[in-house]
Amino acid sequence: MAKYLVIVESPAKAKTIGRYLGKDFKIAASVGHIRDLPAATLAVDIRNGYKPIYINMRGKEKIIKELKQLSKEADFVYIATDPDREGEAIAWHIAKTLNIDLNTKCRITFNEITKNAVKNAIESPRTIDINLFNAQQARRVLDRLVGYELSPLLWQKIRKGLSAGRVQSVATKIVMDRDAEIDSFVPEEYWLVNALITPSGKKHEFKARFYGVNDGSKINKVKLSDKKSADEVISKVGKEDFVATSVKKGKRQRNPFPPFTTSTLQQEASKRLGFSSKKTMSVAQQLYEGVEITGHGQNALVSYIRTDSVRISDEAVKFARSYIEERYGKEYLPKTSRSYSNKNSSQDAHEAIRPTHFEFPPESIKSSLHTDQYKLYKLIWERFISSQMASVNLDTVSLDLTANGQVFRTQGETVTFPGFLAVYEDVNEETTENPDDENTKVKLPEINEGDVLKNLGVTGEQKHTLPPPYYTEATLIKALEENGIGRPSTYAPTISTILERDYVKKEGRLIKITELGKLVTDMLAGNFKEIVDVSFTADMEEKLDDVESGKTDWVQVMDSFYPNFHKQIIEAGKSIEKVKFEDEHTGETCPKCNKGELLIKSGRFGKFIACSNFPECDYTDNIKVKASGSHCPLCGSELFIKQAKKRRNKTFYVCAKEGSDKDCEFISWDLPADDKKCETCGSYMVYKTFRGKKYLKCSNKDCQTNAKKTKS
């Protein structure tokens, strides 16, 4: 019989910790929360200091029974849930359920699941942090009151199945405001004038862009807003050669990025790996709790994944420097170790996200990880290692080239030492921002002041200013973080919620507002300004931080918000007219009653087809598959697009005759191209995509055109 019981949240975490503690310890998992507010009622006693009424969660009866039995058999119970508000709340509820005195030093935490970290935690337990718990409790009660009072109003005035919340409603408003900004954007015409130039007697050609006019004493920047002004510049330059009137050479350094926080991990995983924030956190959780490594057992590979800190431990820095010197050489190692500071002290509770087992470089354990785990682990590893590497050294040059008083400018940049870029390359977020607004850095030949350069031609190009880009998951998370909306643990569930509610939609990587999202957000903005106000929501987050630090009582936070909010709910229930939500027309007659039109309606679980004669006619049907625009290469029938059940973002193509009397078995992951045959084997061609560009490929895997080219 074990002397000590250690309770964690997940079986994977339990298995990992079990490797580090001896036979005197029994490890058990609560599998997340075991108590919560009941779903069927408000369960908050508003008149009694907003006292929440918790119950044991449905489905957790067996786990609770086992934990009670194990705690009776043990001499002492340690609660080792995650080191954050949610983890503290789980610990508090476990203690309450098992009748553990809250003044007992039963709470242990660790930032990483390693042997030293776990043993050190066992040696220095503490009491449950009531302030940390109250911060979570305040958020839970606040969200319950908002959700349970606002949602029925939305059901009554718009339709059933809708929801609202402090963070999700603000996030939706941020997306809607950006979309409105894009819709109202009026493009402005402007012109670029570029000169193609080469040093006399040399073949090296490069471009320079018109910048302004030299009046003899200074250079005045000139904006070309129409064709006439562009033509004037071109005319003045004519065929005259250019003179290098200014050559500024310099050296510049670029420092590495800090290691990951939750937010930056989600952003980079979106940009580099195409992961949704939900997927990123799911895979990161697996890496944190532990993965079975061949020959080494269960090991946790990264530190705690919910953090807004960029601090890293001295031990981790020491390893990184040793690894860099051994793998890349001394020149890639800065003279002194790099340290990164947080914006405020409240962020310093945890370290940044980093590897925990430095003996496991990504390539060495690739076979033990599934593809997504490997990709994310490699990303975390490389970001951490690069954060301790030397800076990038750059040689820069800025040229002013003048012809007949018209000044053209170009900039060059050469990497003379790659530094951290040897590990962590730059990747820019894809946006619709105009790349012509900045001079492109080009490779330039050696040029000195006074040199004459040959004019190979000057051309003008019409451009128009572009609107701000639509949000992606990466840029929306960045916006939430910059505005102080939510906390690291809330970004992924917030975005998932507004997507599931159909308030926003994804088109590729772009996030756009839906008509339903506009309708709900406009109603909230018109009647509950605070709910969709960025500054109010950010201020509430700061108040919750003050509860965590013990500066503010959580009941006072509730008092500052709820009475006025409840008053607005009552007024809105009386004043808001019911919104008529327009159904989509199909133009098809109901096959059951032959009278009504089939309409596309929106319900709690998505869109469906129903008869317009409801309730007289109760005909309903699922949305039919979409037409692809191409035809079956076997029988010529139309091809439909279907959604893969286990791969949410993956579609495939089937023949319209699939499952009919004249069954056609055609199915393909790739869309066939109509009337296009392979010139080599005669098979039908399919569309493929590589780096965003579509191209044609033969569908026959054995065709010579698909054979890998070998070196002769």
- Domain CATH for 70: 3.40.50.140
Closest CA to 471 of 259, 181, 114: 181
Q: What is the pLDDT of residue 647?
A: 44
In a domain, 61, yes or no: yes
- Higher pLDDT: 607 or 291? It is 291
Q: 211, 304, 328, 471: which one is catalytic? A: 304
Residue 627 CA, chain-centre distance (Å), reads 31
Q: Which amino acid is at 496?
A: S
Together in a domain, 219 and 320: no
Together in a domain, 242 and 341: no
Contact by Cβ (8 Å): 285, 303: no
Together in a domain, 338 and 242: no
Q: What is the pLDDT of residue 430?
A: 46
Using CA of residue 459, residue 464, residue 465, residue 466, what is the dihedral sign? negative
Q: What is the pLDDT of residue 191?
A: 97
d(CA 579, CA 571): 17
Q: Is 92 exposed, middle or buried (0-12, 13-18, 19+ CB in 10 A)?
A: buried
**Range with the poorest average pLDDT among 345-359, 421-435, 513-527:** 421-435
Q: Domain containing 32: what range?
A: 4-128
pLDDT at 517 over 50: yes
Together in a domain, 95 and 199: no
Report pLDDT digits (tens) over 29-67.
999 999 999 988 999 999 999 999 999 999 999 999 999
- What CATH number did the domain enclosing 339 receive? 1.10.290.10
- What CATH number did the domain enclosing 193 receive? 2.70.20.10
Together in a domain, 481 and 528: yes
Q: What is the DSSP letter of 272?
A: I
pLDDT at 588 over 80: yes
Q: What is the pLDDT of residue 622?
A: 76
Q: What is the pLDDT of residue 310?
A: 94
Supply the mean pLDDT for the chain: 89
In a domain, 151, yes or no: no
In a domain, 146, yes or no: no
Contact by Cβ (8 Å): 568, 574: no
Q: What is the pLDDT of residue 141?
A: 97
Domain C-terminal end among 128, 151, 176: 128
Together in a domain, 555 and 666: no
Q: What is the pLDDT of residue 494?
A: 95
Q: Max Cα separation, the chain?
A: 94
What DSSP element (H or E) covers 291? strand 291-293
Contacts of 246 (CB under 8 A, 6+ apart): 398, 399, 400, 449
- Residues 259-272: what's their mean pLDDT? 95
Q: What is the pLDDT of residue 640?
A: 81
Unique residue bearing structure tokens 């880009």: 469
Q: What is the pLDDT of residue 679?
A: 75
In a domain, 149, yes or no: no
In a domain, 144, yes or no: no
Q: What is the pLDDT of residue 137?
A: 97
- Residues 592-606: what's their mean pLDDT? 80
Q: CB-hemisphere CA count at 13 Å for 217? A: 0
**Range with the poorest average pLDDT among 75-79, 384-388, 682-686:** 682-686
Q: Which two tokens stand for residue 692?
A: 């965003």
d(CA 166, CA 168): 6
- Residues 480-508: what's their mean pLDDT? 91
**Alpha helical stretches, state H, 270-359:** 277-289, 314-328
Together in a domain, 15 and 88: yes
Together in a domain, 116 and 93: yes
Q: What is the pLDDT of residue 242?
A: 97
Q: What is the pLDDT of residue 263?
A: 95
Q: What is the pLDDT of residue 510?
A: 92
Give the DSSP letter string of 183-247: HT----EEEEEEEEEEETT----EEEEEEEEE-SS-EEE----SHHHHHHHHHHHTTPPEEEEEE
The β-bridge partners of 402 are: 243, 407
304 is catalytic: yes
Q: What is the pLDDT of residue 475?
A: 95
d(CA 317, CA 388): 7
Give the DSSP letter string of 36-59: E--SSS--EEGGGTTEE--EEPTT
Contact by Cβ (8 Å): 597, 616: no
Domain C-terminal end among 418, 434, 464: 464
Band the pLDDT of 709: cuts 50, 70, 90: very low
Report pLDDT digits (tens) over 323-358.
999 999 999 999 999 999 877 654 456 899 999 999
Together in a domain, 332 and 369: yes
**Number of structural domains the chain divides into:** 6
Q: What is the DSSP letter of 269?
A: I
In a domain, 282, yes or no: yes
φ, ψ dihedrals at 322, nearest 5°: -65, -40
In a domain, 143, yes or no: no
- Residues 473-483: what's their mean pLDDT? 94
Report pLDDT digits (tens) over 657-688.
654 444 566 888 888 887 777 877 778 888 88
Q: What is the pLDDT of residue 290?
A: 94
Q: What is the pLDDT of residue 347?
A: 47
d(CA 361, CA 374): 10
pLDDT at 708 over 50: no
Q: Is 617 exposed, middle or buried (0-12, 13-18, 19+ CB in 10 A)?
A: middle
In a domain, 152, yes or no: no
Q: What is the pLDDT of residue 441?
A: 67
Together in a domain, 439 and 484: no
What is residue 518's three-state secondary structure? Answer: helix
Q: What is the DSSP letter of 126?
A: B
- Residues 177-182: what's their mean pLDDT? 96
Nearest 5 degrees, angle CA 607-CA 610-CA 615?
130
Together in a domain, 345 and 413: no
d(CA 315, CA 384): 13
Instruction: Kindly report the pTM of this predicted structure.
Output: 0.79
Together in a domain, 588 and 630: no
Domain C-terminal end among 108, 128, 148: 128
- What CATH number did the domain enclosing 537 receive? 1.10.460.10
Report pLDDT digits (tens) over 101-143.
999 999 999 999 999 999 999 999 999 999 999 999 999 999 9
**Range with the poorest average pLDDT among 215-219, 284-288, 468-472:** 215-219
